[in-house]
A and B are shown apart, each in its own frame.
Chain A
Amino acid sequence: MKTAIELQNITKRFGTVVANDNVNLNINFGEIVALLGENGSGKTTLMNILSGIYQPDGGAIFIRGEQAHIASPRDAQRLGIGMVHQHFKLVDVFTAYENIILGMPRVKGESPAECRARIENLREEYRLTLSLDKRVHDMSVSEKQTVEIIKLLYRGADVLVLDEPTAVLTPQEVGHLFAMLSRMKKSGRAVVIITHKLYEVLSISDRVAVLRRGQCVAEAVTAQTDSRELTNLMVGRPVELKIERPDTRKAPNVLALTGVSVKNSDGGNALKDVSFSLCGGEILGVAGVAGSGQKELCEVIAGLVPAETGAILYRGRNIIGNSPAEIIKKGISMSFIPEDRLGMGLVASMDLTHNMLLKSYRSGKLPLLAKAPAKALATELVDRLKISTPGVAAPVRQLSGGNVQKVLLGREISAQPQVLITAYPVRGLDIHSSFTIYALLNEQKKNGVAVLFVGEDLDVLLELSDRILVLCQGEVMGIVSAKDATKEQLGLLMTGGKEGA
């Protein structure tokens, strides 16, 4: 097998943070290499160096055996390297065709029709389904991804890097993507997929490189390893991978939504006629392709976005249209862990004590803040949840993702809520922190709290939740019992196939 890329001792620093620390990696033509690692382990940084977005502080890159200096994405393109970023780089108002040819000089003597035919050929060669005249803003995430891939092929890329390509796809779409990547491999191209999901590594890659804290801790032939070994390498110590689902007594109808609709900024429906009920002592999972209305669902319950129609009943009292302040005034104890922790749930520049105050600063009749109880709470949380921080006076933005989430969840739980709404509570967290969060949610469930858990990892949803509600384009496609449901069933519902259909 011919070596496509050789990375030697690549080092990249951001201030005091070492994102890549002497990383060595070989990528061959005709193989799929998985780059495995937790969030923040340096996977994306390494590939951004390869695609010319960052310049390494040390080390060398060899392409087809020759040392290369990749100063810009254009250089990378010239060298046959193409990357599909996690956030797609497409022009929304252009069609697929326009996006594909954008920035490329016309080949001399080639008519637009011939150029189009060339793209169509590529499309057929890899059996990609896509209409070239569809505008990007009308496309599904999976279609956008396809455009990105054709774009790279059209530009002559024979080394393809995909950053977390499955994060936004349904299980079925993942299947299609993987089949297509296999065809790329067969045609002699080199493929790198960045991921933190083990089953993806095991099902598609030929070789796997594991990154941990910027260092490449292992390189292995996929067939000779297993998920346990990979997890241990990725985390750096043995981990127990079992999520519990404790049995609890359910208190019916703590929160009930009937016919709730929410408009998005374009006037379309972000949520359409959503109805369900949430019991005390249960975890109701919410599944859906990214952007199916999960954010709006959480925010409409928390009173952050207005609803068009419907009712939200908290123990029989309608709270629809109430602002967060009004909900607090009514004495309703509801906690919301938003997706954007530092931008909404916490104040990034403030210390732990002042972040505790966010929930409680109104207490007391004096116009002055009561800081002592907040400080006591902060100290207690640091102790109880093992938050690693230089102190309660450290700004929360200096904390790692997992600790930030513990601060937020700790504060909300300490208010002893009846309803706990969590949006992607483990996004960006390492495995260990994620399991801490699952345990905290289970503890709340045992205390009789009604928990809404919006998640993206279907395996986690199936293990942790009691029931799973599936959203597709703002509509409830079905509510299934997590014990009996399968991933395929959820995947079908996520793309709009009604339950039982």
Chain B
Amino acid sequence: MKDLVHITKRPERSALSSLGLIAAALGLAIVAGGVFIALMRQNPLEVYAAIIKGAFVGSKRDPFSAIKSTVILFVPLLIVSLGLSLAFKMRFWNIGGEGQMMFGAIFATFFALNYSHLPHIVLVLLMFAASVVGGGLWGLIPALFRVKWSVNETLFTLMMNYVALYTIEFLQAGPWKRTPGFASIGSFDANVQLAKVGGVHVGWILALVLVVIVTVYMSRAKQGYEIAVVGESKATAHYAGMNVKKIVLRTMFISGAICGIAGMVQIAGSDNTLSTGLTGNAGFSGITVAWLAQLNPFAVAVISALFSILEKGSKTIPVDVMSKEAANVLQGILLFFFLGAEFFRRYSIKINLPQKQVRHIQKEEEHADG
């Protein structure tokens, strides 16, 4: 008696085969999403058209407004995903992208509030440096506990998100409260605003530059090599004379710092204030993005773009067509298929038909032959 469903590890797929798999996943995702939309008594084609339109087609007054908003979602997501990729490459489960983003933003806000009189470029550079330090420190703390006392980093980084969140709430309600009556920091000085290039704040250029830098760092630099070795096997790293603790601390600082930069870019480029909603969940979505992209920075850029399109597009589906919750479910369905593709990249499934049926089929074939 054989198992009906037999799952086995398959040989590694070629790049082309992987691409085909992703295309298949996309096709299936569209079909399954369509079924869901049909169940909601809507026309799937119309809804998909609405998503694409929502992500790309703007208003008559500003035909590029939709694309601009999509890019604004794309920038922080891309930067955070890059930062997380570094940690994941080291097999360090940094679930704290949210908090690191927030702390980068908090440190940058200090300069935005207190040094807004400085020349714009000096101020922006100061804020940038501050966000690197802020995010980096927020990443360093769990790493320190990890190497000193083997504290599980997954929970630690996750909890640090909430500490960061409440720190912002505290600052809004206390020391940095600028608006009488309710807890808010208010808008930054106009001098803080990042310059626009092509209609969107300059952060998108920074994000693309970071893609190149992280690529070089991960695949060409000695430090990137160390990260890969530590990720694969700490015993090997130790054997090769690497200082594993130092590498873990350094990498988590860099990972956090990059997430911090995302926070700074978001508040200075888009939000123009410091608030708890600044991350837009990028710290969590970034985890999915990084793994879907298999920690390849260029793939991270592509997947972040797809995520942002989906996010922006499904946000603009009119509520009478589809509720916000239903749009979220649709997003979930699409994601599910992409994650499923990852499974089929490594495993194959064989279905064993019950013996009777097989014999039946064989008989039919014999008949056909005869």
Q: Which of A323-372 contact B (CB under 8 A)?
A: 323-325, 327-328, 336, 338, 340, 343-350, 354, 357-359, 361-362, 367-369
Task: Give the Cβ gap from B187 to chain A, nearest Cβ, in Å.
Answer: 41
The residue from A15, A323, A327 contacting B9, defined by CB atoms under 8 A apart: A15
B235 touches A344 (CB 8 A): yes
Asked whether any CB of chain A lies closer than 8 Å to the CB of B22, the reply is no
A369 / chain B contacts, CB cutoff of 8 Å? 220-222, 225
Asked whether any CB of chain B lies closer than 8 Å to the CB of A304, the reply is yes
B1 touches A69 (CB 8 A): yes
A15 touches B228 (CB 8 A): no
Q: Which of B88-131 contact A (CB under 8 A)?
A: none
Task: Give the Cβ gap from A438 to chain B, nearest Cβ, in Å.
Answer: 24
Asked whether any CB of chain A lies closer than 8 Å to the CB of B242, the reply is yes
A324 touches B241 (CB 8 A): yes
B236 touches A324 (CB 8 A): no
Contacts A347-B229, A369-B221 given; indicate if A16 touches B11 (C-beta within 8 A).
Answer: yes
B233 / chain A contacts, CB cutoff of 8 Å? 343-344, 347-348
- What is the number of residues of chain B that contact chain A, defined by CB distance less than 8 Å? 26
Asked whether any CB of chain A lies closer than 8 Å to the CB of B2, the reply is yes
Asked whether any CB of chain A lies closer than 8 Å to the CB of B238, the reply is yes
A361 / chain B contacts, CB cutoff of 8 Å? 222, 225-226, 240
A302 / chain B contacts, CB cutoff of 8 Å? 239
A325 touches B243 (CB 8 A): yes
A358 / chain B contacts, CB cutoff of 8 Å? 229, 236, 240
CA distance A344 to B222 in the complex (A): 19
CA distance A354 to B222 in the complex (A): 11
A16 / chain B contacts, CB cutoff of 8 Å? 10-11
A15 / chain B contacts, CB cutoff of 8 Å? 8-11
Residue of B nearest to A16 (CB): B11
Asked whether any CB of chain A lies closer than 8 Å to the CB of B364, the reply is no
Residue of B nearest to A15 (CB): B9
A324 touches B225 (CB 8 A): no
Q: Which of B202-236 contact A (CB under 8 A)?
A: 216, 220-223, 225-226, 228-229, 232-233, 235-236
B236 / chain A contacts, CB cutoff of 8 Å? 343-347, 358
A328 touches B241 (CB 8 A): yes
Task: Give the Cβ gap from B311 to chain A, nearest Cβ, in Å.
Answer: 33
Task: Give the Cβ gap from A72 to chain B, nearest Cβ, in Å.
Answer: 12
Given contacts A347-B229, A368-B220, 7 further A-B contacts (CB under 8 A): A328-B241, A340-B235, A344-B235, A345-B239, A350-B228, A350-B232, A361-B226
A positions within 8 Å CB-CB of B: 13-16, 55, 69, 71, 302, 304, 323-325, 327-328, 336, 338, 340, 343-350, 354, 357-359, 361-362, 367-369
A-B contacts, 6 listed (Cβ < 8 Å) = A304-B238, A345-B236, A347-B228, A350-B232, A368-B216, A369-B225
